[in-house]
Structure 1
Amino acid sequence: MKFKGTTVLFILFVAIGSYVYLTEYRGREERQKQAEAKKKAVQVEQKDIKEISLIYPNRNFARVEREDTVAENAQDLTPFGLKEPPLKVDAKLADGKTVEVLFGSDNPKKISSYAKLGGSNDVFLTPSSSKNLFTKTLSDLRNKKVLDFEADDIDTVRVLEANKELELQKSGDNWQIKKPIDTKADNGDVSSFISSVRFARASSFPENPVDARTASLDPPAIRITLHDGKAKADRVLLIGGTPEAGKYYARDASRDVIFIIDKEIPEKARRPIFDWRDKSITRLEREKIEEVEIQHGSDKFSLKKVGSDWKLPDGRKLQWDKISAILNTLEFEKAKDIVDTPKALSSYGLDKPRAEVVFRQGSNELQRLAFGADSKNPEGVYARTSDSPAVKVVSKSVFDNFNLKAEDLVETPPPKGIPAKEK
C-alpha cells in the first residue's frame, strides 16, 4: 500500500508540474508573443510577403514596429508629412492582398518617424530605422559583388593585359610565379590581391545603358582569372575602359550586367612583375642560426649563441640590440631590385666581396651572404646569397648592419653597483 501511495503522489506531482509549466512558462511565452505582435504595424508574417514595392516621388521601384499612436483618424495629415508621403511601402502577400505603409516626416526628437497604414488615418510613431530600412535606391538593392568566391579556394591567378601575361600557382601554403618567369612569389602580396577582388564591390552602375564593346569589355583591357580549386571552376573578372577618372567599367564574365569599380584592382593587376615576386634577401629560420661569421678584408670574427645570449669566442657578451638588428635584416628587409641573369660578378664587385657573412647551425653552413659594390639605380649595395645565382640590390642600412668590427658589438659592462640592463 505504501508503494501505491507513493505512485499516486508521484502522478499528482507530475500533474501539478505540467499544469504549472502550461500556465506559467508556456503561458508566459504566449503572452510575450502576443505583446510583440501588438507592436507590429502590419500583422503579417515575412514568409507570406511575395513582393515589396518602394514608391518615392517621381520614382517607383520594383518589420515595421509600431510605437505610440499620436493621432486617431487625423483629419489633417500635413503636420505629420503624410499628406504627400515621401515614402510608401507596398507588400504583396501570398493570398494576393496588399498591405501599404506610408512614412512621413521625423518627429522633433529625430528618433522616430510618423507613419500610417493605407486606408487608415491613424498616425503612429515608428523607429526611424524602419523608415531607413526601406529608403533604398535601385542601385542599393543590386548585387554589388565583383566576384563570388572564397579566398582559400583559389589556387591559380592569371592576369592578361594586351600581350602581357602573369600566372601564379599555389603549392601548399606558398605561391610561385610561373609566367613570365619561374620564381617565388610574395605570399603576402598575392593574398592581398585575391582579398581585394574577394571583397571588392561595384561603386555604381552606368546611368545610361552601355554595351560591352562601348565599355571596352569586348575584348577586355584586363582579364583576371582566379581558379577555384574546390569548385574546379574559373572566376573571371573583365575590366574595361574608364567612364571617369579613377573608375573602370567591369563585369563578372558569368553575368551580363556591367558595373563600375574603383581603380584599386586594375592598378594592382598592372603592377610590374617585380612587385609580385618574393623580395626576401635570404630565407633563413633565425631559430636555427647558432653562429654568424663576418669577414671584411682581413678582419674575421664569429658571433656564437650561448643559451639566450650571443658571445665572442673569448666569452665576451655581445649587445643584444645589434645582434637583433642582424637577425631582423634576414627576416624583414627586402631587396630593392633583383638581377636574375647577372653579368660577370666583377660587374657588381662580387668577385671580391667587401664583406661576407656565413650563417651556421653547429658545423652545418646554412647560408652565405656576400656584399659587393654600391648600386646607383636603385641606390643601394649589390648582394648575393649562396642559394641563388641572382644578384640583388639591398639598402645601405642592410650592409651597415654587417659592416662592423667585433669591438662594435661587445657589451660594455655596467659600473659596479648598477645591475646589467635586461634584454
Structure 2
Amino acid sequence: MRFKGTALLAAALVGIISYYFLIDLPSEKRKNKEKDRAEKVILFDPENVKGISFTKGEVTITLKGLGIDEWQMTAPVNAKGDALAVSEFLSFLSNLNFTRVVEESSKDLSPFGLDIPGLRIILSMNNGETKGVRVGDDHPMGNKVYLALLKGSQVLAADVTKNRLDRSAHDLRDKTILDFKTPLIKKIEFIRNGKTLNLIKDKESWQVLENRISAKGNETEITNLLNKI
C-alpha cells in the first residue's frame, strides 16, 4: 500500500511538472511576447524596410535600400549611406516600446508638441505600406518623449528622449575616406617634405623602401593602418 501511494504521488508530481513545462510555461512566454508586441510603438520587421526618411521642418533626410546591407542617401545629398548606422537605428526603433497611453484620442495635440511635430520618421515597407511616428516634445519630468503614429490622435509616452530618435545626414551617410578592399592593396606611398616612403607588398609580405634601403614591414601594423583608412 505504501509503494502504491508513493507511485501515485510520483505520478501526480510528474503530471504537475509536465503541465508546467508543456502548457503553463509556453503559455506564459506567449502572453509575454504578445504583451511586448502590443506595446511596440511601431510594429515592423527591419528587414522589410526599403526606405526611411526623417523630416525636421523643411529639411528631409531620405535613404533607400539598394540590397542587403546597402543604403543610398538621396536627400539632402546624394551619397552612400552608412549601412551599420541605418541598421542600428531600425533595430532600435523596432524594439521601442511605449510606457503608457497619455490620451486615447486627443482633440488638441499642441500641448504635446505633436500638432506640428519637430520630427517625423517615415518607413517605406516592401509591401508598399507606409509606417512611421511623429515625435513631439520631451516630457517635463525628463527621460520621456511624446509620440503619435502618422495617422490618428492617440498620444503615447516612451522612455526615450527626442534627441535619441533624431538623426542627421552626417549620422546616416557613409564616412569612409577611401573605399577599397585591404587584400587588394599592393603599394602604399607616403610623401612628406619631399621625402618618399614606400610600402610594397610582395605576395603575402610587406617591404619598406626608403632612400634605396629596404626592410621587412610589420604586416600587422600595415594591415591595421589600411583598416583605419
Residues 94-131 of structure 1 deviation map (CA, whole Å, 9 limit, x = unaligned): xxxxxxxxxxxxxxxxxxxxxxxxxxxxxxxxxxxx9x
**Are the aligned partners of 2:199 and 2:207 in contact in 1 as well (CA < 8 Å)?**
yes
Partner secondary structure for residue 287 of structure 1: helix
2:77 maps to which of 144, 161, 181: 181
User: Distance between the aligned counterparts of 1:252 and 1:246, measured in 2?
Assistant: 20
- The structural deviation recorded for 1:221 is 2.9
Query: 1:168 corresponds to which residue?
Result: 63
User: Distance between the aligned counterparts of 1:38 and 1:286, measured in 2?
Assistant: 57
Query: 1:159 corresponds to which residue?
Result: 54
Query: 2:160 corresponds to which residue?
Result: 263
Change (3 A) 1:156 1:209: closer
User: Distance between the aligned counterparts of 1:195 and 1:141, measured in 2?
Assistant: 15
Partner secondary structure for residue 205 of structure 1: strand
Q: Which residue type is aligned with residue 225 of structure 2?
A: I
Structure 2 unpaired stretches of 5+: 1-9
Partner secondary structure for residue 312 of structure 1: strand
Query: 1:242 corresponds to which residue?
Result: 138
Question: Are 1:149 and 2:44 an aligned pair?
Answer: yes
User: Distance between the aligned counterparts of 1:315 and 1:35, measured in 2?
Assistant: 77
User: Distance between the aligned counterparts of 1:142 and 1:293, measured in 2?
Assistant: 55
Residues 307-355 of structure 1 deviation map (CA, whole Å, 9 limit, x = unaligned): 322113565212334423421322xxxxxxxxxxxxxxxxxxxxxxxxx
| Greater share of helix | 2
1:317 maps to which of 204, 216, 219: 216
Change (3 A) 1:278 1:208: closer
**Are the aligned partners of 2:105 and 2:153 in contact in 1 as well (CA < 8 Å)?**
no
Change (3 A) 1:39 1:188: closer
Partner secondary structure for residue 175 of structure 2: coil
- The structural deviation recorded for 1:253 is 3.0
Partner secondary structure for residue 145 of structure 1: coil
Change (3 A) 1:142 1:194: closer
Identity, in percent, stands at 20
Question: Are 1:218 and 2:115 an aligned pair?
Answer: yes
TM-score by length of 1: 0.42
- The structural deviation recorded for 1:33 is 9.0
Query: 2:7 corresponds to which residue?
Result: none
User: Distance between the aligned counterparts of 1:211 and 1:275, measured in 2?
Assistant: 35
**Are the aligned partners of 1:193 and 1:268 in contact in 2 as well (CA < 8 Å)?**
no
Residues 139-197 of structure 1 deviation map (CA, whole Å, 9 limit, x = unaligned): x7992101111101111111112222111111123212111111122111111111111
Highest relative contact order (Cα 8 Å, sep 6+), 1 or 2?
2
**Are the aligned partners of 1:302 and 1:312 in contact in 2 as well (CA < 8 Å)?**
yes
**Are the aligned partners of 1:146 and 1:202 in contact in 2 as well (CA < 8 Å)?**
yes
**Are the aligned partners of 1:155 and 1:170 in contact in 2 as well (CA < 8 Å)?**
yes
User: Distance between the aligned counterparts of 2:129 and 2:11, measured in 1?
Assistant: 49
- The structural deviation recorded for 1:263 is 2.9
- The structural deviation recorded for 1:215 is 2.8
Query: 1:327 corresponds to which residue?
Result: 226
Question: Are 1:282 and 2:178 an aligned pair?
Answer: yes
- The structural deviation recorded for 1:212 is 5.0
- The structural deviation recorded for 1:235 is 0.9
**Are the aligned partners of 1:159 and 1:269 in contact in 2 as well (CA < 8 Å)?**
no
Query: 2:100 corresponds to which residue?
Result: 204
Q: Which residue type is aligned with residue 248 of structure 1?
A: V
Change (3 A) 1:258 1:311: same
Bigger-Rg structure (1/2): 1
Change (3 A) 1:219 1:304: same
**Are the aligned partners of 1:312 and 1:318 in contact in 2 as well (CA < 8 Å)?**
yes
Residues 272-322 of structure 1 deviation map (CA, whole Å, 9 limit, x = unaligned): 322222111211100000111222232123211123221135652123344
Query: 2:6 corresponds to which residue?
Result: none
Query: 2:4 corresponds to which residue?
Result: none
Change (3 A) 1:141 1:218: same
Question: Are 1:36 and 2:15 an aligned pair?
Answer: yes
Of residues 195-204 and 218-227 in structure 1, the stretch that sits farther from structure 2 once superposed is 218-227
Q: Which residue type is aligned with residue 63 of structure 2?
A: L
TM-score by length of 2: 0.74
Change (3 A) 1:142 1:189: closer
Q: Which residue type is aligned with residue 319 of structure 1?
A: N
User: Distance between the aligned counterparts of 2:176 and 2:146, measured in 1?
Assistant: 36
Q: Which residue type is aligned with residue 48 of structure 2?
A: D
**Are the aligned partners of 2:37 and 2:43 in contact in 1 as well (CA < 8 Å)?**
no
